Structure 1
């Protein structure tokens, strides 16, 4: 048992070091990442690079986009058009029988995070660019898109990204 404990602890330390490096040094909380949109609007712990946008504020929402998450490992819709400067309330609905999440980020970040989730499937954390939902639950993720270009989103629950559960937000000038 002692040997397992010593192997497990360095694995966690390695995981944390990789995660902090991959995510630009932002905070990883110890709780669930299925918190209310109030946390998501706070800006607390988000990526220091705002190339994908920044956490939005509920009082600045320009419009609401409903996104369904299904057990066929798809987002509906999986392609969303917005304008630079727009604050979007993503009304997320988990129509599935398993947990799903929406994580907004650059493709490289999403791929690294998906790989990390495969290695540590029980890991729970929270960030303002993500919302995890239990089966049949719904919730809001508020995000302000600051620059034109494509912004990716995905479900990073183990195996979901590889199964194709991803999408793109096209941000126009």
Structure 2
């Protein structure tokens, strides 16, 4: 049985709707937290302070004619301890975001954005990129881990706008990355 993109998107929307209904059951909600601010947080790194970037990674954001939304590239290898400038260019027709976090943090923030679509994000690991513009995010990676980056505009990650970052020790670095 072949499943269409539209069917998958509808199923994802229904699941998110159910999660949203469950989360807003009248119980007190925890305030929105940033993992890198918490003790014993998921190891995503931190804002670099005055450190100069070791490298720049250019990422293009775009939509396809068939309805997919993509980051290109969508998989990155970064050396532990590196300070990286992400230069994200939105070549699409829609406004997008770039959010860097642990897999759990991305899931939590996606749900938060579903519940509060007009909220303004104020975090060092997040940028908004209007159509036709370029934004920059500079980040220091301080733990060997796997991270995710995603667009948090409701529905965009479901349409394919996400990627992974593998933070590795120098010796584990694959050739050419």
Please tell me the TM-score bracket, short chain as reference.
0.7 to 0.9
Q: Residue 79 of structure 1 corresponds to which residue in structure 2?
A: 75
SS for the counterpart of 1:112 is helix
Give the whole-Å Cα distance in 2 for the aligned partners of 1:151 and 1:50: 10
| Residue 52 of structure 1 pairs with residue 48 of structure 2 | no
Q: Residue 39 of structure 1 corresponds to which residue in structure 2?
A: none
| Structure 1: gaps spanning 5 or more residues | 1-10, 25-45
Count of residues paired in the alignment:
139
Give the whole-Å Cα distance in 2 for the aligned partners of 1:151 and 1:54: 13
Q: Residue 18 of structure 1 corresponds to which residue in structure 2?
A: 30
Give the whole-Å Cα distance in 1 for the aligned partners of 2:127 and 2:149: 11
| Structure 2: gaps spanning 5 or more residues | 1-23, 170-177
Residue 59 of structure 1, CA deviation: 4.3
* More displaced stretch, 74-83 vs 55-64: 55-64
Residue 126 of structure 1, CA deviation: 1.4
Residue 14 of structure 1, CA deviation: 7.3
Alignment partner for residue 114 of structure 1, among 105, 110, 117? 110
Structure with max Cα Rg: 2
Q: CA 1:141–1:114 in 2, change beyond 3 Å: closer, same or farther?
A: same
Residue 50 of structure 1, CA deviation: 6.1
Q: Residue 40 of structure 1 corresponds to which residue in structure 2?
A: none
Residue 164 of structure 1, CA deviation: 2.0
Where in structure 1 do 4 or more consecutive aligned residues deviate above 6 Å? Answer: none
Richer in helix (by share) = 1
Give the whole-Å Cα distance in 2 for the aligned partners of 1:103 and 1:119: 17
Q: CA 1:58–1:65 in 2, change beyond 3 Å: closer, same or farther?
A: farther
